[in-house]
Amino acid sequence: MMRYLLMAILFSVVMNGQKTEERSQNIELKKELAQIYKDDQIYRELMQPNIAPERKAEIAKEKNLSPEDLGNGLIKIMDEQDQNNLVKVEKIIEKYGYPGKSMVGEPESYAVWYVIQHSPKIEKYLPLIKKATDEEELPFRLYAMMLDRKLMYENKEQIYGTQVRSVFSTKSGKTTTLSFVWPIKDPDHVNELRKKSGFGKTIEDYAKDMAGIEYKKYTLKEALELLEKKK
């Protein structure tokens, strides 16, 4: 009898703790960020090569997308959505700072990160992301991904191996795509670093799952030559 009483008390304490945490969160902001997160991801989901036809049709109906929108027009639509999202999250940041998990919970706390990651303002907000991870409001791996992207955009070697780049070339009216993991500063030890940083997959598995490619080591010189050929 005493055992069941103790279990009931423990359950009550846990549930009351969860309710207190929920009450301390900004519920209106949480809802807004949930929508921003959905808006950021939905068009990218359409671009996944393995998306089920039923899911593709469901999104097209929800967003009222034409066959042309689902083809050449999708990038433009996604870019416009990204710009709208950026305006919203910059206002949120100005008012609240970074809205981390203690303010809005998870995964809503990831929404602002995603919007910045898909924007041209990574350099401006990277210190804010670092601060959020230092305060354990965001997982460190998200900071690592943003840092890698910043380094790639600066034509420097990435550190954690999170960024894949694609080069498109057209010959005789046919376009081919070469996707590769952007060069890594210390490729021989990157899997150890990834594990310590919260990434569950090796660089080899990540390349397969992320882009459907075999991981191949590229030097920075080789990667920059590939980009130069694209011009």
List of residues 6+ apart from 117 with CB closer than 8 A: 145, 146, 149
Strand partners, 171: 174
* 230 confidence band (pLDDT: 50, 70, 90): low
Predicted local confidence at residue 173, as pLDDT: 72
Residue 12 has pLDDT above 50, yes or no: no
10 vs 42: which has the higher pLDDT = 42
Residue bearing tokens 């011009």: 231
Summarised one tens digit per residue, pLDDT across range 94-150 is 999 999 999 999 999 999 999 999 999 999 999 999 999 999 999 999 999 999 999
Predicted local confidence at residue 22, as pLDDT: 56
Predicted local confidence at residue 198, as pLDDT: 97
Q: pTM of this prediction?
A: 0.85
Summarised one tens digit per residue, pLDDT across range 164-206 is 999 987 777 777 889 999 999 999 999 999 999 999 999 999 9
Predicted local confidence at residue 143, as pLDDT: 98
- From CA 93, how far away is CA 90, in angstroms rounded? 5
The predicted model gives 15-35 an average pLDDT of 77
The answer to whether the Cα torsion of 142, 144, 149, 150 is positive or negative is positive
Summarised one tens digit per residue, pLDDT across range 45-101 is 998 878 999 999 999 999 999 999 998 899 999 999 999 999 999 999 999 999 999
Q: Helix, strand or coil for residue 175?
A: strand
CA of residue 160 relative to chain centroid, distance: 14
Q: 7-21, 58-72, 145-159, 212-226 — which is least confidently predicted?
A: 7-21
Predicted local confidence at residue 14, as pLDDT: 44
Residue type, 80: E
Q: Is the peptide bond before 67 cis (omega within 30 degrees of 0)?
A: no
